[in-house]
């Protein structure tokens, strides 16, 4: 069977520096971790527009106006949440992803700080679990 790929000219090496890439990746992870710590692991949810306490009554609890509020907050090019009084909150799904990420960081680096962070995230999940669900 003939190959459908062709090679023209000399092979070019891209000069990928593994150490530099790993260093840049680790610095990025450190910046993200700093943001998480500064924000107490809280953030906005994509669909939290209905938590806008003083604007929600203007929806008169109609389906269409609630959808307009939710999607308007979600799609507006600027973050309206602070202006509308929507507070950052913890996310159990986000905390689960962070626990998994911290465990992977511990496995790859061996640094105990990541193990401790994974344990704290898992402890938070246990302490904040909903009853009545599996």
DSSP code, position 51: G
**Residue span of the structural domain in which 59 resides:** 41-87
Q: Note whether 83 and 50 are same-domain residues.
A: yes
User: Please, which pLDDT band fits residue 3 given cuts at 50, 70 and 90?
Assistant: very low
Predicted TM-score of the model (pTM): 0.78
Do residues 70 and 96 both lie within one domain?
no
In a domain, 119, yes or no: yes
Question: What does the pLDDT look like over 8-43, one tens digit per residue?
Answer: 667 666 677 889 999 999 999 999 999 999 999 999
Q: Is residue 95 part of a domain?
A: yes
Residue 63 lies inside a defined structural domain of this protein? yes
Of 131, 128, 107, 130, nearest in space to 117 by CA: 107
Residues 66 and 47 occupy one common structural domain = yes
Joined tokens for residue 63? 């389906």
Number of domains in the chain: 2
Given a cut of 70, is residue 4 above it in pLDDT? no
Helix, strand or coil, per DSSP, at residue 110: coil
* Residue pLDDT, tens place only, 29-79: 999 999 999 999 999 999 999 999 999 999 999 999 999 999 999 999 999
């Amino acid at each position: 069977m003939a190959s459908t790929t062709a090679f023209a000219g000399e092979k070019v090496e891209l000069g990928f520096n593994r150490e530099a890439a790993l260093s840049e990746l680790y610095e990025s992870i450190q910046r993200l971790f700093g943001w998480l710590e500064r924000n107490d692991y809280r953030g906005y949810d994509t669909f939290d527009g209905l938590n806008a306490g003083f604007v929600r009554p203007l929806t008169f609890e109609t389906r269409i106006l609630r959808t307009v509020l939710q999607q308007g907050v979600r799609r507006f090019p600027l973050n309206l949440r602070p202006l509308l009084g929507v507070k950052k909150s913890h996310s159990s799904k986000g905390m689960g992803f962070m626990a998994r990420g911290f465990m992977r960081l511990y496995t790859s680096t061996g640094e105990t700080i990541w193990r401790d962070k994974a344990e704290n995230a898992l402890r938070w999940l246990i302490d904040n679990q909903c009853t009545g669900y599996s």
